[in-house]
């Protein structure tokens, strides 16, 4: 697993702009990927982030990088709690929610629609996607927007700029660990 890939797919999370990010790693062996994740977590933990494998398929692993304090806040929103409770989550513990998400990901080929809550998407947009995936879409960027189009477009631009700046900084020699913002 390369730091370049982590930066490319997780820059807004590393920068403290986003709750979580997903990225796929092609792996030679589960032992190697687990070793890479342990090494990554040694760096991330100091800044309040975590990385866990949430789905392993033949030849690849889907990794979830997230800020626990952001996730706790996001999952406490009443609309988010409602969505999760309807799908069998225990909302009192975000780590258990992540474990439940990983279990749901492992059971099927499709992503459970509530995954957006774990990535920092607005609960209203996640609910809109669950209820009517092709109706009422105001715009599409990092996610399908059903609620506040202007705010979402502003966030999309911020994420894109962050990713560009992080990739440039890393290519210019900034150490990976210095690109991770301390959790607030």
Q: Decide if 131 contacts 114 (C-beta within 8 A).
A: no
How many C-beta atoms lie closer than 10 Å to residue 150's C-beta?
A: 10
Residue at 54 is within a domain: yes
Q: What is the pLDDT along the chain (184 residues), one digit of tens a residue?
A: 789 999 999 999 999 999 999 999 987 677 888 899 999 999 999 999 999 999 988 788 999 999 999 999 999 999 999 999 999 898 778 999 999 999 999 887 678 999 999 999 999 999 999 999 889 999 999 999 999 999 999 999 999 999 999 999 999 999 999 999 987 6
**pLDDT at site 59:** 82
Residue at 182 is within a domain: no
Residue at 181 is within a domain: no
Token duo for residue 53: 């494998």
**pLDDT at site 50:** 96
Residue at 155 is within a domain: yes
**pLDDT at site 127:** 95
Tell me the C-alpha to C-alpha distance, in Å, between residue 22 and each of 7, 44, 115, 132, 183: 11, 15, 10, 24, 18
Looking at the structure of the chain, the number of domains it has is 1
Token duo for residue 23: 């990225």
Expressed as residue numbers, the domain containing 24 is 3-173
**pLDDT at site 108:** 73
**pLDDT at site 130:** 94
Residue at 184 is within a domain: no
**pLDDT at site 125:** 96
At residue 37's C-alpha, the angle toward residues 31 and 42, to 5°, is 130
**pLDDT at site 178:** 93
Residue at 179 is within a domain: no
Residue at 36 is within a domain: yes
Residue at 183 is within a domain: no
The torsion angles phi and psi of 98, rounded to 5 degrees, stand at: -65, -40
Tell me the C-alpha to C-alpha distance, in Å, between residue 129 and each of 26, 132, 146: 29, 5, 8
**pLDDT at site 184:** 64
Task: Give the up-direction half-sphere exposure of residue 4: CA atoms within 13 A in the CB hemisphere.
Answer: 4
What is the distance between the alpha carbons of residues 96 and 35, in angstroms, rounded to a whole number?
23
């Amino acid at each position: 697993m390369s730091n370049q890939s982590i930066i490319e797919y997780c820059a807004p999370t590393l920068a403290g702009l986003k709750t979580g990010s997903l990225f796929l790693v092609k792996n030679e062996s589960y032992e190697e990927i687990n070793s890479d994740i342990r090494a990554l977590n040694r760096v991330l933990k100091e800044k309040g982030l975590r990385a866990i494998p949430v789905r392993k398929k033949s030849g690849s692993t889907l990794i979830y990088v997230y800020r626990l304090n952001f996730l706790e806040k996001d999952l406490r929103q009443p609309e988010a709690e409602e969505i999760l409770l309807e799908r069998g989550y225990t909302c009192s513990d975000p780590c258990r929610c992540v474990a439940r998400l990983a279990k749901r990901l492992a059971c099927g080929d499709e992503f459970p629609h509530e995954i957006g809550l774990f990535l920092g998407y607005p609960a209203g947009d996640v609910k809109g996607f669950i209820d009517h995936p092709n109706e009422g879409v105001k715009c599409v960027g990092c996610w399908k927007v059903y609620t506040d189009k202007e705010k979402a477009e502003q966030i999309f631009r911020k994420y894109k700029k962050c990713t560009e700046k992080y990739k440039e900084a890393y290519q210019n020699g900034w150490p990976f660990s210095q690109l991770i913002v301390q959790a607030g």
